[in-house]
Structure 1
Amino acid sequence: MKIMRKLVALVGAAAMAFSLAACGGEANTTAQTSGNASSSASKELKKVTFMLAWVPDTNHIGVYVAKNKGYFKDAGLDVDIIAVGQSGAEHAVSTGQADFALSNLTNAASYSLKGAGIIQTLQVQQKPSAVWCALASNTSIKSPKDFDGKTFATFGSNESDAVIRRMIQADGGKGEFDKVTVGTNTFQTLTSGQADFGGFYATWEGVQAEMYGPALNCFTEPDYGVPGNADGIGIITSEKMIKEDPDTVRAFTQAAQKGYEYAYDNPDEAAQILVDDAGDSTLQVDFVKRSMQVITEGQYWGDKAKIKDGSFVLGTNDFDGVQKYLDFIAEADAFTDANDNVVKQAPKVSDVSTNEFLAK
């Protein structure tokens, strides 16, 4: 499931040379807050919570910017940014423990098969950033076909297995590999020799490898036969929240959208805001600035020219691209229901996301 892909990012980030902390199940449960709204003013605002998907990073940056710039306050909201709970952001939103959270469309689809009523109202990431890498020092791996017979640092996800198998086969290999469960983090699993390759995010761990090492040799999914967008990262809320308080959903979504727009146009300033406001002393501003540079140069949040001329709205959910990926996962029998039975039919992206709350 897509939950696995999220955890790959968490664990990879935990290996920062300067101790950037991450790992889904081990995230700090202390609430993260930012912004400068006064306590007297906040009493007049509607209190809502936004849950991180892991530790603060550039995927969350638009929410921090929206709070820092007063966009939430202007929308009548007092937003508490809280750390992810042990059961995960999706579960928290589904059960009402959080009003909003960072997630992605594949997670929303996966959870829908298990009875969770969550809807994504904003998709910030418009193309895949997941990369599958070996250490650059491992000269036996030159392309994905060389993953054949090697050991994959995994969290046990059927989804990840399907992706790796497709990439190997698209490159002319058999798609056969061994697996080992990641220990402390993926970087350490590779450097210790327990595994030969694993999953990372180009916009975060890829930046770490570039700036601090260890150097990686990476391959992207679209180049090796994996269809669609596997990384539709964005903001979720519950079906209940949408039904009972659509005005708050609209206010939050549009304020966050404005925050991501500002961050996309002002990446260095946004990076400084995240470092200053996230309450995580391990974040280094040069690193966060480089992550934002990779995002903007790679246009991961959308084509800037199209955003400028109005032909694309930042935050739009990608029904077509994500659906192609979900169909691929379903064909690989990687979706299961609440009883762990395989679900053959992929969920419909249009059933777990909406663009109606975005500012057009």
Structure 2
Amino acid sequence: MWRISARTLHKVLACAVAMSTVIALASCGAATDESSDDSNGNANISFMLDWTPNTNHIGLYVAQRLGYYSAEHVKVDILPTAQAGAETSVENGVADIGFTTLSNVAAFNTQGSSLKFVFDLTQKPVARWCALASRTDIKTPKDLDGKTFVSFGSAEQTAVVRQMIRYAGGTGNIETATAGTNTFDTLTSGKGDFGGFYATWENVESELNGPALHCFVASDWGVPGNPDQLGFAVKRSWLVKKGNAQALQRFLNATMKGYDYALAHPDKAASMLVSGAKEANLSSKLAHKSMEEIASKGYWTTSTGSTSLPGTVNMAQAQDYLDFQYKAGTYKDAKGKVGSDAPQASDLATNAYATKAAAVAEQ
């Protein structure tokens, strides 16, 4: 899984998130298989974040602030991530919708879950594999051979790193170290040599506050497809219950409009994120610079400069990456066995809801 830390957030939020999760779940209750409409006909949706609030989630905070959810007759509770993760929380009915990745959906479904990926935020790779710029001995991924990779124990991440190293001419042999409070601290302490970061958050933080990083993009070094399809997933059985498909559509109509607004008005949207997620104590400077990076580089769109999200999964790119991870042995069932076939993107994901939401946003 892509569990990547940001040093300005995690130290402050470790206890706050745990407490706020308990409070939020106690106040709103667990999600149910059937949608719950209030007396005004509003659909109630609970959404669980994958990590501490950041610009990946900005569309939700904008949609709340500007009344887009109210216009669609949806009431949304944004839940802080639980220790078990958004995927498990959705599978167990604690949340209706969760922020995740398509590859995580593949991994969880292989283990027996039944999740469906319904919205893809990122259209271009956002993950970066970085060493401190002061490490002049690391010039290409080949130089990562024999080094210590700071990770959260993800087989998916390890497969990506090994492929990059081999593509660059190395053997792919690495040591691993568990990330501590955050990856920056682990690297600067000398307990690890390189780690994973997001271009739209930690890399921006590095540019603002240091230390400087030297980074590689997996797709430049032999990893096929788009590893970083981040978005929303629901439980299949929840989706087919009466009213839930319509509730999801209305939720996505408003949320995609929120993301579109963020692309068109990055500064205003960043301010809405900071004020809307007060518990995160976000750096305003970081949030604004991150949103500027996203808008200028077109990470969420298929063309730089566009202010309209497609929200859809590129199935061909997704399948290329799923096939790669399958061959690496990443997707194992509950008994630790790799299945006879690779997970299929067309089964794991649907573009129907995002396509309709994009059409609504254009009106």
TM-score of the aligned structures, taking structure 1 as reference length: 0.89
Which residue of structure 1 aligns with residue 20 of structure 2? 30
Whole-Å separation in 1 of the counterparts to 2:153 and 2:52? 22
Is residue 2:305 matched to residue 1:315? no
Computed over aligned residues only, the root mean square deviation of the Cα atoms, in angstroms, reads 2.3
Which residue of structure 2 aligns with residue 202 of structure 1? 199
Deviates more, 1:177-186 or 1:92-101: 177-186
Which residue of structure 2 aligns with residue 38 of structure 1? none
Deviation at 1:304, TM superposition (A): 4.2
Name the SS for the 2:342 alignment partner: coil
State which of 140, 143, 147 in structure 1 corresponds to 2:140. 143
Contact 1:133 1:217 survives alignment (8 Å) = yes
Is residue 2:272 matched to residue 1:273? yes
Contact 1:21 1:55 survives alignment (8 Å) = no
Which residue of structure 1 aligns with residue 33 of structure 2? none
Contact 1:100 1:237 survives alignment (8 Å) = yes
Which residue of structure 2 aligns with residue 246 of structure 1? 245
Contact 2:295 2:305 survives alignment (8 Å) = no
Name the SS for the 1:217 alignment partner: strand
Alignment of 1:295-314 (within 5 A): 295-304=294-303, 314=310
Whole-Å separation in 1 of the counterparts to 2:48 and 2:99? 7
Contact 1:158 1:334 survives alignment (8 Å) = yes
State which of 211, 215, 226 in structure 1 corresponds to 2:212. 215
| Structure 2: unaligned runs, 5 residues or longer | 25-37
Change (3 A) 1:20 1:194: closer
Which residue of structure 1 aligns with residue 107 of structure 2? 110
Change (3 A) 1:353 1:22: farther
Contact 1:335 1:344 survives alignment (8 Å) = no
Deviation at 1:54, TM superposition (A): 0.7
Change (3 A) 1:105 1:281: closer
Contact 1:46 1:78 survives alignment (8 Å) = yes
Name the SS for the 1:184 alignment partner: coil
Deviation at 1:95, TM superposition (A): 1.5
Change (3 A) 1:351 1:19: closer
Whole-Å separation in 2 of the counterparts to 1:342 and 1:19? 34
Whole-Å separation in 1 of the counterparts to 2:232 and 2:284? 24
Whole-Å separation in 2 of the counterparts to 1:344 and 1:178? 29
Letter aligned with residue 81 of structure 1: I
Whole-Å separation in 1 of the counterparts to 2:322 and 2:248? 26
Which residue of structure 2 aligns with residue 169 of structure 1? 166
Alignment of 1:89-128 (within 5 A): 89-128=86-125
Deviation at 1:26, TM superposition (A): 8.9
Whole-Å separation in 2 of the counterparts to 1:91 and 1:29? 19
Percent of aligned pairs sharing the same letter: 41
1:110-145: CA deviation from partner (whole Å, max 9, x where unpaired) = 111112111121111011111111111111111111
Deviates more, 1:265-274 or 1:331-340: 331-340
Which residue of structure 2 aligns with residue 263 of structure 1? 262
Letter aligned with residue 255 of structure 1: A
Whole-Å separation in 2 of the counterparts to 1:295 and 1:313? 12
Name the SS for the 2:98 alignment partner: strand
TM-score of the aligned structures, taking structure 2 as reference length: 0.88
Whole-Å separation in 2 of the counterparts to 1:134 and 1:243? 45
Deviates more, 1:58-67 or 1:238-247: 238-247
Which residue of structure 2 aligns with residue 327 of structure 1? 323
Change (3 A) 1:135 1:115: same
Contact 2:296 2:305 survives alignment (8 Å) = no
Deviation at 1:184, TM superposition (A): 2.1
Whole-Å separation in 2 of the counterparts to 1:228 and 1:177? 23
Name the SS for the 2:177 alignment partner: strand
State which of 128, 133, 137 in structure 1 corresponds to 2:130. 133
Whole-Å separation in 2 of the counterparts to 1:113 and 1:88? 17
Whole-Å separation in 2 of the counterparts to 1:206 and 1:264? 19
| Structure 1: unaligned runs, 5 residues or longer | 34-41
Letter aligned with residue 318 of structure 1: N
Whole-Å separation in 1 of the counterparts to 2:199 and 2:306? 23
Alignment of 1:70-81 (within 5 A): 70-81=67-78
1:299-330: CA deviation from partner (whole Å, max 9, x where unpaired) = 1001346957xxx8521122111111111111
Deviation at 1:339, TM superposition (A): 2.2
Change (3 A) 1:143 1:21: farther
Whole-Å separation in 2 of the counterparts to 1:217 and 1:83? 31
Letter aligned with residue 30 of structure 1: S
Whole-Å separation in 2 of the counterparts to 1:301 and 1:239? 25
Whole-Å separation in 2 of the counterparts to 1:21 and 1:340? 36
Contact 1:119 1:236 survives alignment (8 Å) = yes
Which residue of structure 2 aligns with residue 57 of structure 1? 54
Contact 1:102 1:234 survives alignment (8 Å) = yes
Deviation at 1:109, TM superposition (A): 1.3
Work out the number of aligned pairs and report it: 340
Q: Larger helix proportion, structure 1 or 2?
A: 2
Alignment of 1:214-233 (within 5 A): 214-233=211-230
Deviates more, 1:210-219 or 1:182-191: 182-191
